[in-house]
Structure 1
Amino acid sequence: MNSQYNKWQIAVRISGATAMVFAFSGGAFSLAYWLTHWFYSHHEVRMPEYLLQLVNWGLGVFIMILIFAVVNVLVRPKQRAVWKEMMDALKRMAKGDFNVIVDQDKKYHGQMGDFIQSINDMAHELKQVELLRQEFISNVSHEIQSPLTSIRGFASTLQREDLSPEEQKHYLSIIEQETTRLSSISDNLLKLTTLEAEQQQLDKKRYRLDTQLENVVLACEPQWLGKELELELALQETEIVANEEMLSQVWVNLVHNAIKFTPALGSVKIGLHSRENQIEVYITDTGIGITPEDQLRIFERFYKGDKQRTRTADGSGLGLSIVKKIVELHHGDIRVSSRLHEGSTFKVTLPFE
C-alpha cells in the first residue's frame, strides 16, 4: 500500500513538473507569436511562410530560455542559502553539537522540506542518545567512586600501627565487601551490555516453571527466615519453553528485592498461573512500597528511588534493568503496581512457547 502511495506521489510530482514546463513553453511561444505579428503588421516583410514560422519558433525558444534564466537567477541564492544552512548543521553534528534546527520558520515544503525535517529528526535523536550516554557515564562513575573511596580510606587506616587485631579484621572485612560490590557492578554492566546487544543466545528448553520458583524460594530461605517473613506460594503446575538460567536471574532478583524491602514479620506471596496463551507470575510483598514517580523509572539503568537508597547501600540500580531485558528477550512483559508503605506487586507475563 505504501509503495503504491509513493508511486502515486511521484507520478503527481512528475505531472506537475511537466505541466509547469508546458505552461512556460506555451507562454513563451504565445509571446513570440504576438511580438512577430506586431512587427509584421508595422513593417513590410516578404519571406516564405516556413521562414516566418521558423522565426516565430526561434524567438519562442529564446524567450523561454530567458524566462528560465531569470527564474534561476532569482531562485538560486535561496537554494544556496538553504544548502549552506544544511551543510553547516551537518558539520556541527559531526563535531558533536546536536543543538541544531534547520529552517525554523518552515519555509520549505515538498522534497526539500522532507529532507530538512529528516536532518532535524536525526539531530534530535542523536541529542537524546548523547544525553543517555552522559547520564550512563555519570551513574557508572558515581557507583564506582563510592566503594573506591571506602577501600582507599580503610586501606589508609590499616597502615596505623596502633590498631588492634579485631579492628584490622573489621576494616579488612569492609574492604572485602566493597571489592565484592565493585565486582558485582562490573558483572552486571557486562551482563546488561551483552543483553542489550542481543549477543545472548536464548538456548530455550522445556522445563517446569513452578519447580524453578520453588527452588528460588528455598535458596532464599535464610533471608526470609531471618526476618521472620511469611512466605505464601500459589503455584500452578506449569511447563514453559525458555532459557532456564536467564529466567532464574529474573526470579532471584525479584524475590530478593521483595525480601529486602519488606520489614520484619511481613509477608511475601508468589503466584503462578496460566490463562489463554500466557503465563503470569506475580510477586507481592508488604514492604515499603514505591512512589508513583519511581514506578515510572524503576526499570532504568542505575535508577534508585530515595526510599531504596536509604534502605540499602549495596544496590547498583542495574538488577531490574537486567530483569526487564531478559523478559523482553522472551517476548514477555513486566509491570509494577505499588502503594507507598503498603507494598508492591511485580507481574511478569510470558508466552507459552
Structure 2
Amino acid sequence: MKKGLSRKDTILRGFVLFIVIFAIIIGCGALAGLFARIILFTTGHAPAEESIYGQGLTWLILIALLLLARYYLKYGNIAKYIDSFNAVIHVLERIAKGDYKARLKEPFNEHKSFDELVKSVNNMAADLEQMENMRQEFISNVSHEIQSPLASIRGFAQVLQSNDLLSIAERKLYLSIIESESARLSKLSDSLLQLAVLESESMNLQQRPYRLDKQIRDLILACEPQWRGKKVDVEAFLDEVTCMLDEDRMSQVWINLIHNSIKFTPKGGRIRVELHQHGKTIEVHVSDTGIGISEEDQKRIFERFHKADKSRDRSNQGSGLGLSIAKKIVDLHGGGVRVRSTPGAGTTFTVTLPN
C-alpha cells in the first residue's frame, strides 16, 4: 500500500485505474479495426475479418496502440490525474458531511479543465459556508430576540406570585410590562411568518391598480399621533400616481419607512415624503433629520435582525426585521431600495418601482 494512502483510497485508485485500462483496451481494439479497414480498403484487399492478412494487420496495429498506451501510462503521469480526481472526491465527501470549510488548493493541475473543476468545487463550498453562517446567525438572533421578552415575562410573573406586599400601582406596572413583552413576542412571530411567506416560491402578489399617492397620504395621517407626539414636522409632496402593485404588501413598506423615520428623528425634527413618476418608473423618497446611519451599517441595514442603533434596542423594542421585509416586498415587485445617510445629519430611503 502506498505510504499516506488509506485502504479506501487504494481501492478507489485501483478501481479508477482498472476502468481506465479497460477503456483503453476497448478503444485501442476499435481503433485497430478501423485503421486496418482503411489500409485494406486503400490497397484493394478484403476486409480484415475475411482474411488472415487482415486479421494479422489488425492485431499488429492493436499491439502497437497498446504499447503506446503503456508508454503513456508509464510516463504520462496518469496516476497524477487519478490522485486529482481522488482529492476532488474527498473534498466533496467532506462537504456532504457538513464541513463547508473544505477547499482544494489552487492551482490544482496544469490542465485548465481541472482548474475549472477546482474553482467550481471551491465556489460551491464557499456559498454553502456562507449559507451555513447565515443560518447559524439567524438562529442565534431569533433565540436572543425571544429570550429577552421571555425573561422579562418570567421575572415579573415570579415577582407577582411571590410578593404579596406589592402596591396596586406596582402590580399594574408589572402587568403592563408583561403585556408589552407579550405583544413584542407576538410581533416578532408575525414578522418571522411574513418573511417565511415572502421568501417562499409560492408567494403570489395581488397586484391591481390603485392611487399610490392616496395610500401614502393616508398612512402618514394614520401615524399622526406618533409624529405629533414628538413635535416632528412632516411634509408630503406627492404626485398623482396610479400604480399596479399589491396594495396591502406595499402598505407594509411605507409604514415601516415612516415609523423608522419617526423613531430615529429627535423632537422638533422634520420628515419629508416625496412621490414622483419618471416615465415608467416610480420613485418614493422618505427623508428625515434624524440620527443618521454609519457607512458600515448602511451596507447591512437590510439584513435580518441587523440594528444600526444598538443602543436603542431596548427603548425602541425593534426586532430588526422591518427593513428586511420591506426590501423583500419591493424586490418581489421588481423594484429596489437604497439608503443614503450621514451620521447626525439624517437619512433618506429611496424606493424605485416599475409602473
TM-score interval, normalised by the smaller of the two chains: 0.7 to 0.9
Distance 1:61 1:307, change over 3 A: closer
Match of 2:340 in 1: 337
2:299 counterpart SS class? helix
Q: How does 1:195-210 map to 2 (within 5 A)?
A: 195-210=198-213
Match of 1:218 in 2: 221
2:83 counterpart letter in structure 1:
A
State whether residues 213 and 251 of structure 1, in contact with CA within 8 Å, keep that contact through their aligned partners in structure 2: yes
Match of 2:170 in 1: 167
Distance 1:227 1:339 in 2: 22
2:235 counterpart letter in structure 1:
E
Deviation of 1:52 (Å): 9.8
Distance 1:144 1:127 in 2: 26
Match of 1:272 in 2: 275
1:247 paired residue among 239, 250, 268 = 250
Match of 1:18 in 2: none
Match of 1:294 in 2: 297
Match of 1:4 in 2: none
Does 2:324 match 1:318? no
Deviation of 1:58 (Å): 5.0
Distance 2:80 2:106 in 1: 15
Match of 2:69 in 1: 68
CA deviation digits over 1:91-122, x for unaligned, max 9? Answer: 11111001112243421524343333322221
Structure 1 runs (4+) deviating above 6 angstroms are 50-57
Distance 2:320 2:349 in 1: 16
Distance 1:169 1:52 in 2: 110
Percent same amino acid among aligned pairs?
48
Deviation of 1:53 (Å): 10
Distance 2:159 2:314 in 1: 27
Query: TM-score under structure 2 normalisation?
Result: 0.80
Q: CA RMSD in A?
A: 2.5
Match of 2:151 in 1: 149
1:239 counterpart letter in structure 2:
T
Distance 1:52 1:218, change over 3 A: closer
State whether residues 281 and 354 of structure 2, in contact with CA within 8 Å, keep that contact through their aligned partners in structure 1: yes
Distance 1:59 1:241, change over 3 A: closer
Match of 1:284 in 2: 287
Distance 1:134 1:54, change over 3 A: closer
1:107 paired residue among 105, 109, 113 = 109
Deviation of 1:173 (Å): 0.6
Match of 2:237 in 1: 234
1:158 counterpart SS class? helix
Distance 1:238 1:56 in 2: 86
1:231 counterpart SS class? strand
Distance 1:68 1:249, change over 3 A: same
Distance 1:162 1:55, change over 3 A: same
Distance 1:230 1:51 in 2: 105
Deviation of 1:172 (Å): 0.7
Unpaired runs of at least 5, structure 1: 1-20, 30-49
How many residue pairs match? The answer is 308
State whether residues 234 and 271 of structure 1, in contact with CA within 8 Å, keep that contact through their aligned partners in structure 2: yes
Deviation of 1:255 (Å): 0.6
CA deviation digits over 1:135-175, x for unaligned, max 9? Answer: 11111111111111111111111111111121111101101
Distance 2:206 2:311 in 1: 34
Distance 1:292 1:55, change over 3 A: same
1:70 counterpart letter in structure 2:
Y
Distance 1:144 1:167 in 2: 25
The worse-fitting range, judged by mean Cα deviation, of 177-186 and 304-313 is 304-313
Distance 1:337 1:220 in 2: 23
Distance 2:150 2:230 in 1: 31
Distance 2:57 2:270 in 1: 99
Deviation of 1:188 (Å): 0.3
Does 2:330 match 1:327? yes
2:175 counterpart letter in structure 1:
L
Query: TM-score under structure 1 normalisation?
Result: 0.81
Match of 2:192 in 1: 189
Distance 1:198 1:312, change over 3 A: farther
1:163 counterpart SS class? coil
The worse-fitting range, judged by mean Cα deviation, of 80-89 and 318-327 is 80-89
